[in-house]
Structure 1
Amino acid sequence: MSKTIFISGASKGFGKIWAEAFLKRGDKVVATARNIDTLQDLVTTYGDAILPLQLDVNDREADFAAIEKAKAHFGSIDVLINNAGFGVFGAVEEVSEKEARDQIETNVFGLLWLTQAAIPVMREQGHGHIIQISSVLGVATVPTLGIYNASKFAVEGLSETLAAEVKPFGINVTLVEPNGFSTDWGGPSALRSEKNPVYDDLREAVTKGFTPESIGKPEATTDAIIKLVDAQNPPLRLFLGKVGLPWVKQVYAQRLATWEEWAEVSTAAHGH
């Protein structure tokens, strides 16, 4: 059965690739972008099956209006994919106030506003699926991406809580956690803080860690996203790519070992 899917940040990268994949198989898509001219090729090909909406997700009032337009146009919203976001590259010391606020504003608050707008629609329908595009960096961190890591950790905590709150209404929540992919996330879409040379060696080491083999192909994710959208019982979390799971297993093993090492101190702090 055809679904109605709302995707933010659909002008390029994952958002546009997924929008086209859904349209190709007969779904209806509400695609938002700051510049809807980037969606004209999809409109030309798929006509009335796509509703392009100009949207800056940082504008809460506009987010609620976009959800209302989508519902009025197609009659329902089966899936919300909160994909809009970007990365700030910089060590924690390097990030400016504006860069930090802009990062959290888009990656956390933009996602929150669209989520809040969609919940009543989905609750009234008695079903829905909210898919939050997080990152493997919302589970484990990489140096010189601190404020981006922080934004995705926030999305993880928010969405895990949300999943428990909306489950009784028939609404599912999934955190999608891609590893590195060859989108322009690290290129034109990124912001780069003014560099402090004391971090140059660390920056170089981090860059060397991203080998061609570790970077996934964005087009290869479409089958996974379609399976996720079609799942009767979708998971709370889903990695995209082959790097995430092995890496996070190592990270969590180290965390557990540290917690165990300090368990006696932790227990004594309870007081009784």
Structure 2
Amino acid sequence: MQFSTLKRVFPFILLILFGLFSSQLQAQEISGRVYDDASALPGVTVFNSNEKTAVVTNEDGAFTIKATIGDTLTFQSSFHISQDKIITMAEYRTLLIVELKQKVNTLDEVLLSGKEKEFDVEKYNADLSKQIENDIKNNPFDYGKAPAGGGVNLLALVKLAISIFKKKPEKQIIYATQTDLIHLFNEDEFFTETLLESTLKIPKHYKNLFLDYCAAKQIEEDLLKEENKFQLLDILVISSNEFKEILVEYEAGK
């Protein structure tokens, strides 16, 4: 083959090779294990934000998910800090190992240290008295006419104490219905039939019954919002395991 001919066809050869290389990458899967500082982590959600797919780690912390170079995998657990991992060529050549850090809150620290602070009644009463005294000084007309001795109106003081201790009305909680969940799985890009069958392992003919079971557990409607999808997925994973145990008992009792 003459050099001029090779020069003309070389770009096409590169294009074909690149196409074959890309198609191979798209067909590959990433495998890995998730740990914390104590052990392997089952039940961790591995979410591919580019493909909008998810899997859950098994009892050994292992997972396998389809991904291409440049995809971002998010590792999410209720008791651990979430972590993002951008897939590179190296992840195709070896087992992906991810270590999540446990969440620590103030209550945990208090319980672990054994130094729970005791309630100081005298200090609390002194603070309350100081608060009332300052309020009288700043807002004298709110307390009505003072008695002859120059004291403060007792009724006004009682009203002030009530206002300090009175709790604000709790926000009314709205729970998702079975219809809400069916609508979610019919129209959402993440919560799909594939997620139900492949990730949660719910047989297709049990879909509506499973969603009815989830609704009975009183899932807050706010969790159906996009920004709360990982929290909802955690609940669905737990609920699916419970539901499958019920199915096993049912099948055994036939």
Structure-2-length-normalised TM-score = 0.20
Structure showing greater radius of gyration is: 2
Q: Which has the higher contact order (CA 8 A, sep 6+)?
A: 1
Structure-1-length-normalised TM-score = 0.19
